[in-house]
């Protein structure tokens, strides 16, 4: 199971790296063309925007793993150890429900947009809006992978998959 989790995290990270690389190359090529030939790629801004959308939704789960999202821990810190575990379990349950709902809403929205095409690239908006259910699906998987150590000890995974419990800025633990 540990190897599967490591592979899943690595693939998620590499997908983000590839999208960032593609976005950088597209924007860089557009800037170069604009200043060297006075022409630009009509689709470059649109492609970069859609890659940014996919990177945002695709990277949210990796950030969740390390406790990088905003957290206010005043209530948790004021509770005894058992109360903290119960609160963290409620938070995980609430997040799972919310993420599942957003997968459902995202799928409905993407399906409604499947017949409209983007202005410059002329691809169905389905591929743009699919970032939402895919991203929230990834959030569910990442949350399930870190739920046990988070609930029991309030710790997150470090980027190297070791567990960390040192306080992070904003009150989160990482």
What pLDDT is stored for residue 70 in this prediction?
Answer: 86
pLDDT at position 157, please?
Answer: 73
Mean pLDDT score, 162-170? 47
Region 76-86: mean pLDDT is 93
Residues above pLDDT 70, as percent of the chain: 90
pLDDT: which is higher, 65 or 173: 65
**What's the pLDDT score for residue 146?**
94
Number of domains in the chain: 1
Q: Say whether pLDDT at 154 is over 70.
A: yes
Measured CA to CA, the distance from residue 145 to residue 139 in angstroms comes to 10
Whole-prediction pTM: 0.87
Residues 30-51 have pLDDT tens digits of 999 999 999 999 999 999 999 9
pLDDT at 82: 95
Q: Which pLDDT score is estimated for 166?
A: 42
Per-residue pLDDT at 161: 52
Mean pLDDT of the chain, nearest integer: 91
Q: Return the HEC string of 101-119.
A: HHHHHHHHHHHHCCCCECC
pLDDT higher at 76 or 21: 21
Query: Whole domain around residue 26: which residue ranges?
Result: 2-171
Q: Is the pLDDT of residue 173 over 60?
A: no
**Minimal CA–CA distance to 99: which of 73, 125, 134, 54?**
134
Query: What local confidence, expressed as pLDDT, does residue 159 receive?
Result: 63
């Amino acid at each position: 199971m540990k190897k599967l989790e490591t592979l899943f995290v690595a693939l998620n990270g590499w997908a983000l790296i590839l999208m960032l690389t593609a976005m950088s190359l597209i924007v860089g090529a557009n800037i170069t063309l604009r200043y060297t030939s006075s022409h630009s790629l009509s689709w470059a801004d649109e492609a970069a925007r859609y890659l940014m959308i996919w990177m945002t939704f695709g990277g949210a789960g990796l950030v969740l793993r390390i406790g990088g999202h905003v957290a206010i821990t005043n209530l948790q810190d004021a509770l005894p150890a058992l109360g903290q575990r119960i609160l963290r379990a409620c938070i995980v349950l609430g997040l799972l429900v919310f993420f599942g709902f957003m997968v459902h809403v995202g799928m409905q929205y993407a399906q409604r947009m499947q017949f409209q095409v983007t202005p410059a690239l002329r691809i169905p908006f389905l591929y743009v809006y699919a970032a939402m259910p895919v991203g929230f699906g990834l959030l569910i998987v990442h949350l399930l992978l870190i739920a046990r150590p988070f609930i029991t000890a309030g710790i997150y995974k470090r980027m190297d998959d070791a567990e960390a419990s040192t306080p992070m800025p904003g009150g989160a633990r990482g």
